Amino acid sequence: MRNRVSSSDQYFAFLSIKYEVDPDEFFNALVSAGENQKSTCGGLSIECRGKTHDRATFLILKGSEVVAQFPISTESLSAQSNPIKKFTQTDMIRRFLAKKYRKAQSRPIRDLRTGMSNVSLKAKILEISGPKPVVTRFGNSASVASALIADETGTIKLCLWNEQINCVSIGDTIQVRNARMSTFRGEKQLSIGKKGTLSAITDASAQLEVLSS
């Protein structure tokens, strides 16, 4: 994908859509990293690795995974309006989103059954319980919270671990991918493993998803 884009602005627009972070927040995080060496945006960490008079090079990570290392011009960083936002509406990104959402069709909550895996769905967060410290079966310390999520077909508990707890808020519409269904103390719950993802749906993503339906 990177080799097919025509500019750094377009590439960063692609990253904002792929990792479901608001384009304005992503651009502001790039500017902040350029000024302060590091910043965060959604689940991404951004580091400025070097600057010249006409460009800055950024390293972008998701956890410990390297997402990209790419330069952006100082002219783009100093622009009064977000120069990458306009690229979120390009045909290339629309095609990417259409393909992405065909692969990850959402399930309604009413159809979820204990034992299901690879579950994807969209829902709204109604409640989040306070995080509690726990010790996992592997002996590790962790924080866990429970969110009540809903779609038009019903509600279910979503188990949130560690950094997932701070990724979302009450009232958010979220996208869950590659989750699994289980039962805890007689109650069904949805949980997200290491290969799953949880993110708040941005306006840009929601608008472009409509094009794939």
pLDDT, tens digit, 9 for 90 and up, residues 100-151? 655 555 788 988 888 888 888 889 999 998 888 888 777 778 888 899 999 9
Confidence band for 46, pLDDT divided at 50, 70 and 90: very high
CB 168 within 8 A of CB 147: yes
More confident of the two residues 203 and 115: 115
Q: Is 4 exposed, middle or buried (0-12, 13-18, 19+ CB in 10 A)?
A: exposed
Residue 81 main-chain phi, psi, to 5 deg? -110, 155
Question: What are the residues whose beta carbons fall under 8 Å from the beta carbon of 88, sequence distance 6 or more?
Answer: 13, 16, 17, 23, 204, 208
What mean pLDDT comes out for the span 63-88? 83
Residue ranges and CATH numbers for the domains of the chain are: 2-89 (no CATH), 102-212 (2.40.50.140)
| CA distance from start to end of the chain | 23
- The beta strands (E) that lie in 52-163 are given as 55-62, 65-73, 119-128, 132-135, 141-151, 154-161
pLDDT value for 105: 57
CA 71 to chain centre: 22
Confidence band for 156, pLDDT divided at 50, 70 and 90: very high
What mean pLDDT comes out for the span 163-181? 87
